[in-house]
Each structure stands twice: as structure tokens, then as C-alpha cells.
A and B are shown apart, each in its own frame.
Chain A
Amino acid sequence: MPKANVTFEDIGVTVTVPAGTRLIEISEKVGAGITYGCREGECGTCMMKIVSGMENMSERSVLEDQVLKEIMAGRQNRLACQAQVLGGEVVVRPG
């Protein structure tokens, strides 16, 4: 199965995950400083920053895109409960 490496910069942990894993599935378990609200891509609480490797992330869905625009997120921001890791190396941090 294709793998991806996700590094949580704030806690210094890299997790090797199957391609297609949502960030929330990892961030929740690993103890990174991210909080969650609705878990359904509506509230924007779980926003995090992709430090590098955005090209290895899934495209923003219409819903995710809309919420991120509403909270005036930057281009590097994604919702942990929505965004999937597709492969390669991705570095993330809270915020």
C-alpha cells in the first residue's frame, strides 16, 4: 500500500501512514496541539498549517474551501478533519 510521512512539527513526531489518511486520524492520536469542533468540515476549529508538502495533500473540497475562505485562512491552511494525505512527505503544525 502507498505510504506517506506526516511530521507534526510542534511535537517532533513523524508518522508513517497509508495514503488517503485524514490528518485528524493522526493528529488526534499523536497529541499535537490541535482542537476539534464539529469534525465535519463546518466549524473551522481544526484548522492547521501545512508547512511543506501541500502538493501531497488532497484538493480542498467545496465545503472545506468555503469554510477556509470564511475564516480568512491563508493558502497554507487546511482543515484536519477534511484534508487527506496522499503520499510523500508532509510537515504540519497547529494553526
Chain B
Amino acid sequence: MKAVEVAPGVHWIGALDPGMRDFDIILKTANGTTYNAYCVRGSSGVAVIDTVKESHAGEFFRRLEQVAGYDEITTIVLNHLEPDHTGALPELMRRAPNARLFISFKAQTMLKGLLKSEALAYTPVDTGDSVSLGDRTLRFLHTPFLHWPDTQCTWLEEDRILFSGDVFGCHFCDARLFNDRVGDFRFSFEYYYRHIMRPFREHVLAALDLIEPLAPALIAPAHGPVLRDAPSAYPRRYRQLASPQLANEAERDKTLLIFYISAYGNTARMAEAVRDGAESVDGVRVSLFDLQGGEVTPFVDLVEEADGLAFGSPTINGDAVKPIWDLLSSLAVIKVGDKLGASFGSYGWSGEAVAMIEDRLRGLKLRVPVSGIKVKLIPTDAELALCRDYGRELALHLTGRAARKVISMEELLSAAPATNPAITAKAVPTATP
């Protein structure tokens, strides 16, 4: 197959991988993917932008050889160091002895680890830096965390072409290559955003602030179709996806979501008491959801916008119940790191669920300032009052009005794992659960 001209003197020299089904384990693709690399010819130099996965290096070199000689290559740019784009780099550097390598300044520490080769000379670049090919100029845009710390975009100024790396890419394989000729790839574009870019949405918005004013005439991503027809639609769609759909009606309030699941109604009663306590604090909007009445995906959308999350679960067979873990394991696709987390629940003879959920919340980088409450079997009125206090304290933390606490190391150690001793209320069961 031939190199494909995407603009005069600019060629696609990537590789097709139609057999790929699982990408990086977590991503599915129903028709494969492409590793897009590009070659730009200027009056005094030739640039190669990105390479391909190592297994597809042969295809990449054959296309490159159709449009440039190795000794003509003056510039190699890597927008992103993941192996699907750097697999052919060591060999390319060997074949193109005159080339200088340009990577984002954030990529420096990764270069060695990824390529397992010691002394590769390179030039680190940041937004505003550029490299000249004579009559053409490549300018760099630092767009970190889309989706790695090192990611950048490269802007071919005279032709207004954006080589965007993984941004605006998708796993979709179609040899017709251009967005106006390939099959319907819109779902792949959205899927890629949701699974790869979504956890970094502030970074997405910051990158769009750099990209949109450029009004690219063509966007050349590192996977999937080359976006030449209505290219501005794609940054616009990213902006929509990175913004909440409906404005939060209670914009000035902090939001607390309480998710619970209850086998015999005990954890449900605790959840209601936690809600009542939280609602007694001004400036907090509390919502209560039974996980048995909802699916994970819409809850993930809600969580993305929330300030605090509380999970109520009974302990069954020494564990929290599956719907709780299902929701918690789905939170990896959004940013939860600055939220408040909490956990509570009723139990029969051992109450591990509460601490297990708290550990998981801390693992997701939530702060867990108030230690959870567990109640044996049916909550008494006194225990429900504790749950209300607990909800109230969560709300005070959310609104930044919690009393500052001073404790000693001894108190801390005896109260592991969090500041308040886990309040284990002993109740005399009035019925079996």
C-alpha cells in the first residue's frame, strides 16, 4: 500500500492493524486500529511525525521510503511516547543519521524507560518552540495529560495542519483514511474520548484553549481517520464532552451523593439518617440513591459532578456487595481525586465492608476525613442519631466548616484507619436480619 498525500508535500505513512480487538486490555475495537505517522517535506528538510507500533514497522518504513530518503530526514517529532507510536523509533534513528529528535519536555524521563536504549540524543520542547523545514515551520503545543504527562501536538503553521497525537484519535481501521470517506466512526470517536481522555477533562479544556483559536484546516491524529472534512467539529465535540450536560441547578451548593444497597432495610435506614443529617447543613445538596434501582453508567456521570460520595453497604460474606464494587471500579474513567468519600453500613457478625470501601476510596485519592459507621443488625434510635451526626459532619467537611481537630499519634494509631474511631455501635438485636 502507498503513502497517502493528505496535503501537498504532507503524507500519511502509518500502518493499518485491522486485526486488533483489545487495545491496552481496557479498550475494545470492532474493526482494528491504525497507527498514524506523517511525513512533511519542506524546502530545507523533511520531518517525520510519530512512528508506529514495533510489529508494524515494516509497513511504516516502506511508506516512508516512497516519499523521502533517509538522509533527507532532518527532524523526527514524537507527540507521545507510548509504544504504539514509538515502536519504530530506534530503527528510524539508525536509518536517518541526520535527524534530530524533538520530544515534549515532560517526555524526557520516559524516553529511556520506554525505548530501553541509552543514548538517544533529543531536544526537549514546550509550547512556543518551533523547528524550521525551510519554507515550512513546525510549532509545538504542550498539551499534557491527553492522555499521558508527555503528550503534545505539533502544528504545521503554513498549512494549518494539526498533528494531534492521541487527541481526536480513535481505534477505527479503514484504508480509505479520510473522515469523509471511511465508514461511520463516530461511535469510536466518542468511545475513545470516554475511555482515554475523560479522566483528564480539565487538561482537555486547557488544550482546547490552545487548539481552537488555531482553527485547523486539517487534523491528523495518531489513530483512526484523518479529519479533513469540517475538522473544527472534533475540538467542538471534545469541548461538549468535557463540559457537564445540564448546568447544576444548585450551582453554589456542594453536592453529596449517598449510594446504598440494603438487604433487609437496615443500611437503607442508616442511609436516610445520614441524608437527614447532611441536609441539616446549609449549602449542601444531598441525593440518595438505591444502587439496586439504577445502572452504573449514569451514576458515573453524576459522580463526576459531585463533591462528596458516601457508600452504604451491608457486609455479606466478609465483603461489601457487588453493586458497590461495580460502581467503584467504574470510577477510573473520571477524575475523583479531589472529592470527599465516606462509607457506612449494617452487618451481622463482622463488619469489614465499611473499612474496605474506605480503603478503596483512599486508593482512588478521595479524602476520607470522617471514619465510617457500622451498626450491628438493626439500627437503634441512638445509632440512627449517630448516623445523622455523621451525615452532618460530612456536610460540614464539604462546606469547609468542620471543626479543626487536633489529635495525638497515640489516638491516631488506636483509631486506625481514620481519625474518628470507627463508630461501632453495639445494639441488641430485636430481630434477626
- In the bound assembly, the distance between CA atoms of A73 and B320 in angstroms comes to 37
Residues of A within 8 A of B106 (CB): 72
- In the bound assembly, the distance between CA atoms of A10 and B407 in angstroms comes to 16
B338 & A33 in contact (Cβ 8 Å cutoff): yes
Residues of B within 8 A of A32 (CB): 367
Q: Which residue of A lies closest to B414 (CB)?
A: A29
Q: Which residue of B lies closest to A28 (CB)?
A: B417
Cβ of B136 within 8 Å of any chain A Cβ, yes or no, is no
- In the bound assembly, the distance between CA atoms of A66 and B20 in angstroms comes to 38
Residues of A within 8 A of B358 (CB): 31
> A31 contacts which of B337, B367, B408, B409 (Cβ < 8 Å)?
B367
Residues of B within 8 A of A26 (CB): 409, 412
Cβ of A94 within 8 Å of any chain B Cβ, yes or no, is yes
Residues of A within 8 A of B370 (CB): 31
- Given A33-B338, A33-B362, residue A15 in contact with residue B412 (CB < 8 A): yes
- Interface extent on B, as a size class? 20 to 34
Residues of B within 8 A of A21 (CB): 409
Q: How far is the CB of B71 from chain A (nearest CB, A)?
A: 35
- In the bound assembly, the distance between CA atoms of A17 and B404 in angstroms comes to 17
Residues of B within 8 A of A13 (CB): 369, 404-407, 419
- Interface extent on A, as a size class? 20 to 34
Residues of A within 8 A of B405 (CB): 12-14
Residues of A within 8 A of B362 (CB): 31, 33-35
Residues of A within 8 A of B416 (CB): 29
Residues of B within 8 A of A29 (CB): 412-413, 415-418
> B418 contacts which of A5, A31, A35 (Cβ < 8 Å)?
A31
Cβ of B109 within 8 Å of any chain A Cβ, yes or no, is yes
Residues of B within 8 A of A33 (CB): 337-338, 362, 365-368
- In the bound assembly, the distance between CA atoms of A94 and B404 in angstroms comes to 17
A94 & B409 in contact (Cβ 8 Å cutoff): no
Q: How far is the CB of A89 from chain B (nearest CB, A)?
A: 12
Cβ of B151 within 8 Å of any chain A Cβ, yes or no, is no
- Given A26-B412, A35-B363, residue A11 in contact with residue B369 (CB < 8 A): yes
Q: Which residue of B lies closest to A14 (CB)?
A: B406
Residues of B within 8 A of A31 (CB): 358, 362, 367-371, 417-419
- In the bound assembly, the distance between CA atoms of A28 and B178 in angstroms comes to 51
> B365 contacts which of A5, A16, A34 (Cβ < 8 Å)?
A34
Cβ of B402 within 8 Å of any chain A Cβ, yes or no, is yes
Residues of A within 8 A of B407 (CB): 13-16
- In the bound assembly, the distance between CA atoms of A19 and B171 in angstroms comes to 54
Q: Which residue of A lies closest to B417 (CB)?
A: A29
Q: How far is the CB of A24 from chain B (nearest CB, A)?
A: 12
Residues 344-373 of chain B: 1 if any A CB is under 8 Å from the residue's CB, otherwise 0? 000000000000001000111111111100
> B397 contacts which of A11, A70, A71 (Cβ < 8 Å)?
A11
Cβ of A30 within 8 Å of any chain B Cβ, yes or no, is yes
Residues in A lying within 8 Å of B, measured CB to CB = 5, 10-18, 21, 26, 28-35, 70-72, 94
Q: What are the 4 A-B residue pairs with the smallest beta carbon separation, nearest first?
A: A11-B369, A33-B367, A31-B418, A31-B368
